[in-house]
Amino acid sequence: MKLLIVSSWNEDQLTEIKKTFPRVQFVATGDPDEILREISDAEIVFGSITREAFLAAKRLKWIQNSGAGVDRLAPIAELAESNVIVTNTRGAHAATIAEHTFGLLISLTRNLPQSFQAQRDHNWHVRFDKPMVGLTGLTLGMVGLGNIGRAIAKRGHAFDMNVIAIDAHEVAKPDYVTELRLSDGLDDLLRRSDVVAVTTPRTPQTQGMLGAQQLGLMKPSSYLLVVSRGGIVDEEALARMLREGRLAGAGLDVTATEPLPEDSPLWDTPNLLITPHCSGGSAFTSSNVMVIFQENLRRYLAGERLTNLVDLKLGY
């Protein structure tokens, strides 16, 4: 049985998993041409593949996506219509992304970029462009209450924030969330929140869901944080609002186009922090991903039902 790894693994990881699953032939490559050759007789793929690679696969039965989002796989119509099983690693990244989200927020509320620049300039008497803000008592609005949304909400509660949320589905309300509504409560959430965190997956239903009209409902003193996928928020409208002072600040770990082009106006937008889609990265995350994958591989070899199954037609 051949398993093709198309994400970057180190030699120690490969050596360890080969010992654990001696029945499986592991092949790892990130080269597009090699992927097209190797995938032809692969039964399992770890990572995300292109439509061209999927069409070259003759024996493929299961794709274990290396991340939680499957927006690169979902547009492959032939895959969505096939019997190939797709699973993801939802839950593995939640804690680290939540920590990163609050890193962005606290950087904005405590004017840390200006302090960092003052340190580089050896300037103790820095004059901040705007007053510092405390999180206690602020309302945190969660757009999406999946694993990542719950992890952020839990930390917001620990900061003594009032947490409200919406989700596309009926989900159980955690004790640390004050209110939970379906997605039709978006406008009300935007009006009431001091901080809005976007953690919903990108699907046809969520694409562009925070357009200029929706962003215009937010308080001028509020902050927007986007850590799930680009394309959910109208970035042009967001940049315009920040330039006009109609939002206090925003943090983007994801953008509609990645990598973000060097000439994008987002780079120079005031009160906007950009990180290069790295919020999920940590040794803790990597360890969790491997736990999920190895458990699924064990189940696959034993003929058992896999965990973290994905419906590509829904996009999650």
Report the catalytic residues. Answer: 229, 258, 277
Which amino acid is present at 27? V
Q: Is the bond leading into 265 cis (omega within 30 degrees of zero)? A: no
Per-residue three-class SS string for the chain: CEEEECCCCCHHHHHHHHHHCCCCEEEECCCHHHHHHHHHHCCEEECCCCHHHHHHCCCCCEEECCCCCCCCCCCCHHHHCCCCEEECCCCCCHHHHHHHHHHHHHHHHCCHHHHHHHHHCCCCCCCCCCCCCCCCCCEEEEECCCHHHHHHHHHHHHCCCEEEEEECCCCCCCCCCCEEEEHHHHHHHHHHCCEEEECCCCCCCCCCCECHHHHCCCCCCCEEEECCCCCCECHHHHHHHHHCCCCCEEEECCCCCCCCCCCCHHHHCCCEEECCCCCCCCHHHHHHHHHHHHHHHHHHHHCCCCCCECCCCCCC
Cα gap 115→178, rounded to integer Å: 34
Cα dihedral 127, 130, 134, 140 sign: negative
